[in-house]
Amino acid sequence: MILAILVSAALQAPPPQARPPQRRPAPKPVARVVAPAAKPKAFGRVVVDAGHGGVDPGAPMQTKAGLREKDITLQLALRLGEALKLRGIEVVFTRKKDTLIALADRGRIANQAGGDVFISIHVNAANKHWRNPGAARGFETYFLAEAKTEDARRVEAMENEALRFEGPRHIDSSDPLGFILKDMEQNQYLRESSEFAGIVQRRLAQVHPGPDRGVKQAGFHVLVTALMPAILVEVGFGTNSGEAAYLSSTVRQQALARVIADATNEYLDRYQRRVGNSGLTGSHD
């Protein structure tokens, strides 16, 4: 009898795979919408990370206005966020003001927010030992993998230097073994990140005077902890006065934000076609 009840209960219980896929809850109905907002995409939560901040000014910039890398990255990140929202894409910022966020915490914020992709915005700087450092210019997009060239190692060292502002609390994040293990976790997104970087680089070429320095790879701490496709964009050289002026211009920033948002939209569409609504990172809720 007991067995029969158990069997019948088992027959009545839905099979485990019949559980409906977890989806993000539908947006709450709004009573009156004056201007209809962009139709929210079913998929795609983008984490926008403005490089540096607070006591970490980032790389020097050749601007009369005294802007630092941290100022440009924040302005651009906020514009990118607006451009993404216009395309119906959800946005999470790692910072929205001039504060220092530890490199490892940026990825953690992205994971906790259930991000689908991570975009870190930076401004490049020429090595002062180069023959003509002021002449270097152009844009490049990185994904996380072992640095392959001397130049990629230079950018890697420069962007990882932010660790020194973080104090002893974050010493563990520079532990080499921990770094390698985290790197392996991020490895599963390597192909996705590389494709995303390629789209961003191609779209940037539509507005950026260049040169196009290509898609590159390096071991950035900021990308290691983000368990999702993750890229780092170096939008230009602050050490070149022409490019520093370009990056400081509101109009130029809006154009850069627009094409990076277009690239993200294009990537998310492709990504969704491949993996469906569940996403690589699993359920959001």
- Tell me which residues touch Zn ion (CB under 5 A): 51, 58, 122, 159
- Residue closer to Zn ion, measured from CB, 51 or 279: 51
* Residue 38 beta carbon to Zn ion: minimum distance, rounded to whole angstroms: 30
Minimal CB distance residue for Zn ion: 122
CB of 69 to Zn ion, least distance (A): 5
Q: DSSP assignment of 127-164, as one string?
A: -TTSSSGGG---EEEEEES---SHHHHHHHHHHHGGGG
Sign, CA torsion 59/213/271/189: negative
Length in residues, the chain: 285
Which is it for strands 139-144 and 212-218: parallel, antiparallel or unpaired?
Answer: parallel
Residue at token pair 């009840």? 5
CB of 53 or CB of 115, closer to Zn ion: 53
- The answer to whether the beta carbons of residues 239 and 225 sit under 8 Å apart is no
What DSSP letter does each residue of 31-92 carry, written as one string? S--SSPPPPPPSS-EEEEEE--BTTB--S----TT---HHHHHHHHHHHHHHHHHHTT-EEE
Q: Smaller CB distance to Zn ion: residue 58 or 115?
A: 58
Choose between 43 and 93: whose C-beta lies nearer to Zn ion: 93
Q: Find the shortest distance in angstroms from Cβ 224 to Zn ion.
A: 16
- Least distance from Zn ion to the Cβ atom of residue 46, Å: 19
Question: Which residue, 89 or 218, is less far from Zn ion as judged by CB?
Answer: 218
Q: Give the tokens for residue 192.
A: 């996705």
- State the minimum distance, in angstroms, from the CB of residue 265 to Zn ion: 25
